[in-house]
Amino acid sequence: MPKPVELVVIGAGSRGGIAYASYALRHPDEARIVGVADPDPIRRARLAETHDIDDSHCFTTWEALIDAGQLGQGAIIATQDQMHVEPALAAMAAGYDVLLEKPMADTLEGCVQLVQAAERTGRNLQICHVLRYAPFWRKLHEVLESGVIGEIVTVEHRENVSYWHMAHSFVRGNWRNKGLSTPMILAKCCHDLDVLVWNLQQPVTRLSSVGSLLHYRAESVGPEIPLRCTDGCPIEPACPFSAIGAYLDYERTFPGARQRLIDAGLDPEAPNYWPFNVISPDVSRAGRQRAIESGPYGRCVYHCDNDVVDHQTVLMELESGASVTLVMHGHSNQENRSMRYDGTKGTLRARVDPDVIEVNIHGGRSEQIAIEPSPTGHGGGDEGIMHDFVRVLRGEIAPLTTARVSLESHLLAFAAEEARLSGQVIAMADYRAHAEAMA
Ligand SMILES: NC(=O)c1ccc[n+]([C@@H]2O[C@H](COP(=O)([O-])OP(=O)(O)OC[C@H]3O[C@@H](n4cnc5c(N)ncnc54)[C@H](O)[C@@H]3O)[C@@H](O)[C@H]2O)c1
Cα of 434 vs centre of ligand 1, distance in Å, is 29
Q: Which residues of 400-437 are buried (b: 16+ CB within 10 A; e: fewer)?
A: bbbbebbbbbbbbbbbbbbbbeeeeebebeebbeebee
60 pocket-lining for ligand 1 (C-beta < 6 Å): no
Instruction: State how far the Cα of 208 lies from the Cα of 412, in Å rounded to an integer.
Output: 10
Q: Side-chain half-sphere of 132: how many Cα atoms within 13 Å?
A: 26
Stretch 283-311: mean pLDDT, rounded? 97
Q: What is the dihedral of CA 280, 178, 330, 156, to 10 degrees?
A: -130
10 Cβ below 6 A of ligand 1: yes
For residue 250, what pLDDT is reported? 96
Indicate the pLDDT class of residue 325, thresholds 50, 70 and 90.
very high
In 372-394, which positions are buried (b, 16+ CB within 10 angstroms) versus exposed (e)? eebebbbbbbbbbbbbbbbbbbe
Q: With bands split at pLDDT 50, 70 and 90, how would you rate the model's confidence at 237?
A: very high
Cβ neighbours for 286, distance < 8 A, ≥ 6 positions apart: none
Write out pLDDT tens, residues 117-135: 999 999 999 999 999 999 9
Q: How far is the CA of 278 from the centre of ligand 1 (A)?
A: 11
Q: Residue 376's pLDDT band (boundaries 50, 70, 90)?
A: confident
Question: What is the arithmetic mean of pLDDT over 54-75?
Answer: 98
- Distance, CA 10 to ligand 1 centroid (Å)? 9
| pLDDT bucket at 176, cuts 50 / 70 / 90 | very high
Domains of the chain and CATH, by start = 5-127 (3.40.50.720), 151-215+307-343+402-438 (3.30.360.10), 218-298 (no CATH)
CA distance 213 to 216: 7
For residue 1, pLDDT over 80 is answered with: no
Mean pLDDT of 56-72: 98
Amino acid at site 203 = P
Residues in the chain: 439
Q: Rg for the chain (alpha carbons), in Å? A: 22
pTM: 0.96
Q: What region does 18 belong to: left with phi over 0, alpha with psi -120 to 50, or beta?
A: alpha
State pLDDT tens for residues 383-401.
999 999 999 999 999 999 9
Average pLDDT of every residue of the chain = 96
Q: Say if residue 39 is preceded by a cis peptide, omega within 30 of 0.
A: no
Establish whether residue 79 lines the binding site of ligand 1, counting it when its CB lies within 6 angstroms of any ligand atom. yes
Pocket lining: 281 vs ligand 1, CB cutoff 6 Å: no
Nearest CA to ligand 1 atom 40: 80
pLDDT in tens, 26-36: 999 999 999 99
